Chains A and B, each alone.
Chain A
């Protein structure tokens, strides 16, 4: 009976593997199909992400001063939320703001906090380019790129669960780990950058969101083309933290063609963008 027993063991292993694979989520980030993980768990993870993101956002604002221009910031929130409707995280309240810096960049903290420098805003020529940049940052948050990059593991090996454990922890150890995670997130944003694959993904998903929101699909490559011509201190951090622009442009061009985005009609939003530029503090 040795052979049947071995076969049964193999069958057991194969069967369990098949069940695991069949029950597995579409991505490692979606775990609700696993029996022990519930919607309440996901809701708790998301709230932990917001708590964490607030402290990261406060640190960003410690380095880059919030621009005192309520009407322009309101406008950013309207454009940003218009593109965020075409994403996968309706549970997030997205908040957008201009921060004072001549450098050309944008930053996304977990939980929905997005910042655009006045340098980047000055380089944009219409609303569709602003929408493209905001959609790229929304995609970083939607795909939890920072949370993933922190490599915090929870009981089920998922980074969001690990973050929830840190946020919920009442011990000094948990608070120290939480502080270190905030430090690491800020370092990723200003120094180390995300993985290149995450930047390409944000380009790809941002392009989908902005285009399907009704904006010109050529806006992002147009903005990046203008950016390519600036090789000085204003773009040093962006080049350090992002893939080479030529590679991004090639991937974007392929995406526009392969996914049928290039031929879709799109608005530029030029006139109301120019109105807002005129309302910036001098």
Chain B
């Protein structure tokens, strides 16, 4: 009866166990450690998976949380010592991205709408459609880049939104 160390069956078994360790461990760790990040301005961490449940904590945009459990609408998460439920809609697997605005030309004369619209058409043509294609669509009435420019000129900043909320929406 030979030693099990030299037995081909046991050698293969060791190899299998080693492979299992190598293959499965990173997956287990990845699943356990992948954080989620709050995307909404704030997100309530609740005692139950219901919006009317007791609030355990208020999370802020960019906060990282650990995923513990899920149902179709909610994630159960941990942040520090606290655990609770957050709407899935408010979380993503990446930190919040930087805000991007449409490319607008810097040298636009804002007092002359026609010239400004033309500059926007030009600036927007850096990618996607060509300048000629946009101008043609605009001239044919298929698209209205002047109106688009006016729409983009109506800007509200976050301070205005906060004042608006405080003035009329109970939090």
Where the two chains meet, the residues of A that have a C-beta atom closer than 8 Å to any C-beta of B are: 1, 4, 7-8, 11-12, 14-16, 18-19, 21-23, 25-26, 30, 32-33, 39, 42-43, 46-48, 50-52, 54-55, 57-59, 61-62, 65-66, 70, 73-74, 77-79, 81-82, 85-93, 95, 97, 111, 113, 127, 142, 166-168, 175, 178-179, 182, 204-205, 208-209, 211-215, 259-261, 263-267, 269, 272
Contacts and interface: CB of A to CB of B under 8 A. Distances in A.
Contacts of A261: 51-52
B169 interface: yes
A81 B137 contact: no
B147 A66 contact: yes
A58 B88 CA distance: 33
Contacts of A46: 97, 100
B101 A93 contact: yes
Interface string B6-34: 00110011011001101110111011001
A15 B20 contact: yes
Interface in B151-170: 151-152, 154-156, 158, 160-161, 164-165, 168-170
Among A21, A82, A178, chain B packs the most CB atoms within 10 A around the CB of A82
| B interface residue count range (under 10 / 10 to 19 / 20 to 34 / 35 or more) | 35 or more
B100 A259 contact: no
Contact of B124 (A48, A51, A95): A51
Interface in B92-107: 92-103
5 contacts: A15-B24, A15-B27, A16-B23, A55-B143, A211-B51
A211 B169 CA distance: 10
Given A61-B144, A61-B147, A263-B52, A127 B168 contact: yes
Contacts, number: 229
Given A62-B143, A179-B133, A19 B170 contact: no
Nearest to A57: B148
Given A78-B160, A259-B73, A260-B52, A93 B99 contact: yes
A1 B24 CA distance: 23
Contacts of A204: 73
Contact of B20 (A11, A127, A179, A272): A11
Binding site secondary structure of chain A: helix
Given A267-B168, A267-B169, A18 B27 contact: yes
B168 A269 contact: yes
Nearest to A170: B127
Contacts of A90: 39-41, 61, 96-97, 99
The 8 A-B pairs with the shortest beta carbon distances in the complex, nearest first, are: A15-B23, A260-B50, A214-B169, A91-B97, A32-B94, A260-B52, A4-B12, A58-B143
Contacts of A260: 48, 50-53
Contact of B90 (A73, A88, A259): A88
Contacts of A66: 144, 147, 150-151
Nearest to A15: B23
Contact of A12 (B19, B97, B102): B19
A82 B170 contact: no
Nearest to A270: B168
